[in-house]
Amino acid sequence: MSTDTSTPDVRPTDHTGLRVLSIDECLERLDRTAVGRIAFVLDGEVTVLPVVHTRDGVDVCFRTTGSSKVGAAVDHDRVAYQVDGFDARTRTGWSVLVQGTAVLVTQEADVRRLDLGSARSWVPQHEHGYQWIRVRTASITGRALG
């Protein structure tokens, strides 16, 4: 994020005129958004599924059942995690994109910490037999419109 702006009001924008969010702004929006979307490639098909996430440092973690499609994407491919918010009336909005690799959380201490620190899954069945998946973040980017 550029810090060489001459006035506090000048904010960086991309080539389409969208305001570039700082990493802190991206993390703050991840924190205040309950549901995001995990996107991954499975058998050559791009798949996007909503999940309830919890942030762990710059990583994003979420629960999944062992039999879920997301589980199949772990450890063998790049993934993305996305959160956004929109107001159709004012035609404004923002989007944050996390890109990285999905790994299974296997350390018991990590699982316990995630269990304690996170919101309950919205899908009751996931309370039993779920696994935590971590998106090991390689990049976080965000844009805002309006």
Q: In this chain, which stretch among 22-30, 54-62, 93-101, 109-117 interacts with a second copy, using CB under 8 A?
A: 93-101
Q: Which of residues 28-87 bind a second copy (CB under 8 A)?
A: 34-35, 37, 39-41, 44-50, 65, 67-68, 77-80, 82, 84, 86
Minimum CB distance to a second copy smaller for 17 or for 57? 17
Q: Which residue stretch of 1-9, 20-28, 94-102, 104-112 sits at the interface with a second copy (rule: CB under 8 A)?
A: 94-102
Rank residues 37 and 55 by Cβ distance to a second copy and give the closer one. Answer: 37
Neighbouring CB atoms inside 10 A of 114's CB total 17
Smallest Cα–Cα separation from 51: which of 70, 66, 32? 70
Report the nearest approach of a second copy to the CB of residue 88 (Å): 5
Answer yes or no whether residue 103 interacts with a second copy by CB under 8 A. Answer: no
Point out which residues bind a second copy (CB under 8 A).
15-18, 34-35, 37, 39-41, 44-50, 65, 67-68, 77-80, 82, 84, 86, 88, 91-93, 95, 97, 99, 122-126, 145
